[in-house]
Amino acid sequence: MKLIALKNNLKIGLDYLSKVISPNPSLPVLSNVLLKADDGQIKMMATNLELAITSKVPGKVTEDGGVSVPYGIFSGIINNLATERINVESENNNLEVKTDNYNASIQGLGEEEFPIFPKIKEESNFLEINSSILKDNLRKVVIAAEISEIRPEISGVLLIAELEQIKLVATNSFRLAEAVVKRSQFKNNFNQGMKVIIPLKTAEEIIRIVKDEQVVKIYLDENQILIKTEDVEIISRLIEGTYPDYEAIIPKTVESQAIVEKNELINALKLASVFAARSNDVKIVSKEGKYLEIYSGSSNLGENNYSIPAEIAGEFKIGFNWRFLLDGVRVSDGEKIIIKLSSQGKPALISSTDDKQYSYILAPLKSSD
């Protein structure tokens, strides 16, 4: 293998792989990156056997081939070189890195010793979506996801790919987030809908790696998901199991509600957090029908009240984990937040008055009863 590439392009490609690399004493090759030149393309690949990422690096290939080398060593060299133009060659499973004034030889392994990358069985059926739309909606729901060994089926993001819309859902049993992508925002050639659970780690890598304003193609089969853009491919195992009937906990009726300015509520919650750092408990009560009072207190620290203007209908009194509430408020689009209560002790529905495609459901704290 012989190739020439720019330092910054190699660095970007290696950064894409960084979160997949992890020491594995029983399988040391998983700490390696596979550098491959084939058919004029330069690819760098890494896997942890659950998630595999391929980054495509611009450059010039003069001889095809491949070699696997320790990620940490190769990345350390690339990050610290001062020269922009880098020559890379492999011979007898060693990788040579050369510039005008630098030469390094890294002991590697043959391409055949690197784990085989999984493949989607059928790539004729796919979703096509703008990367910014996909990432924005994933960001809105991953805040509600949490790794659970007891209930692995909720340790990820539920993707419901229907013919007329896409739903993304995540929950940790205390909160739930749902984002809907309208038909006008994506293309598909599915004959029927599909429902799969994407691991949380995979969803986070999509958000981190995929560039904005690119075309993303999503391929699915019963076991795997493949995300493709022009410069990266992410393939991941799906989580097995049946996702809970999340729609059953979405409030269907409204007894009271409050509409507030988003930034006012964010500021109020940040102030409340000063006295709620240990308990995470904030209480929200309507005052005079036109204010929401945000209260937090600690017997050891003190207490505070913050009143913000609100449009209130009905009696409003509830307590939340301030961190969870702030998460949902922050990711909501628009300038105003609406909090709807169905009945005492039941989850609240939080959304933006300007965004009907996103819902955040948050269970109240028992101490607020």
For 48-101, how does the pLDDT look when each residue is reduced to its tens digit (9 = 90+)? 999 999 999 999 999 999 999 999 999 999 999 999 999 999 999 999 999 999
> Does 309 fall in a domain?
yes
What whole-number distance in Å separates Cα of residue 71 and Cα of residue 90? 15
331 and 143 in contact (C-beta within 8 Å)? yes
Q: Looking at the structure, tell me whether residues 206 and 237 fall in a common domain.
A: yes
> Does 121 fall in a domain?
no
For 297-320, how does the pLDDT look when each residue is reduced to its tens digit (9 = 90+)? 887 888 889 999 999 999 899 999
| Beta-bridge partners for 17 | none
Q: Looking at the structure, tell me whether residues 143 and 189 fall in a common domain.
A: yes
**pLDDT on residue 368:** 43
Q: Looking at the structure, tell me whether residues 19 and 106 fall in a common domain.
A: yes
> Does 90 fall in a domain?
yes
Q: Looking at the structure, tell me whether residues 261 and 364 fall in a common domain.
A: yes
Q: Looking at the structure, tell me whether residues 241 and 267 fall in a common domain.
A: no
What whole-number distance in Å separates Cα of residue 298 and Cα of residue 71? 48
Say if pTM beats, i.e. exceeds, 0.85. Answer: yes
Among 90, 113, 136, give the residue marking a domain's end.
113
**pLDDT on residue 366:** 76
Q: Which residues of 248-266 are buried (b: 16+ CB within 10 A; e: fewer)?
A: eeebeeeebbbbbebebbb
- What's 156's domain CATH number? 3.10.150.10
20 and 14 in contact (C-beta within 8 Å)? no
> Does 118 fall in a domain?
no
> Does 119 fall in a domain?
no
> Does 139 fall in a domain?
yes
CB atoms within 10 A of CB 190: 13
* Residue type for position 43: K
Q: Looking at the structure, tell me whether residues 162 and 254 fall in a common domain.
A: no
> Does 313 fall in a domain?
yes
For 169-188, how does the pLDDT look when each residue is reduced to its tens digit (9 = 90+)? 999 989 999 999 999 999 99
Among 247, 273, 299, give the residue marking a domain's end.
247
Q: Looking at the structure, tell me whether residues 203 and 308 fall in a common domain.
A: no
Q: Looking at the structure, tell me whether residues 201 and 279 fall in a common domain.
A: no
**pLDDT on residue 10:** 97
What whole-number distance in Å separates Cα of residue 238 and Cα of residue 221? 9
Q: Which of 299, 357, 361 is nearest to 327 (CA)?
A: 361
Q: Looking at the structure, tell me whether residues 92 and 28 fall in a common domain.
A: yes
What whole-number distance in Å separates Cα of residue 356 and Cα of residue 333? 10
Mean pLDDT of 287-298: 90
> Does 120 fall in a domain?
no
**pLDDT on residue 277:** 67
Range of the domain at 224: 126-247
What whole-number distance in Å separates Cα of residue 145 and Cα of residue 178? 11
Q: Which of 278, 346, 274 is nearest to 304 (CA)?
A: 274
Q: Looking at the structure, tell me whether residues 172 and 105 fall in a common domain.
A: no
Phi-psi domain of 111 (left: phi exceeds 0; alpha: psi -120 through 50; beta: other) = alpha
Intra-chain end-to-end CA distance of the chain, in Å: 68
Q: Looking at the structure, tell me whether residues 309 and 291 fall in a common domain.
A: yes
Number of structural domains (the chain) is: 3
Q: Looking at the structure, tell me whether residues 209 and 263 fall in a common domain.
A: no
Among 83, 113, 143, give the residue marking a domain's end.
113
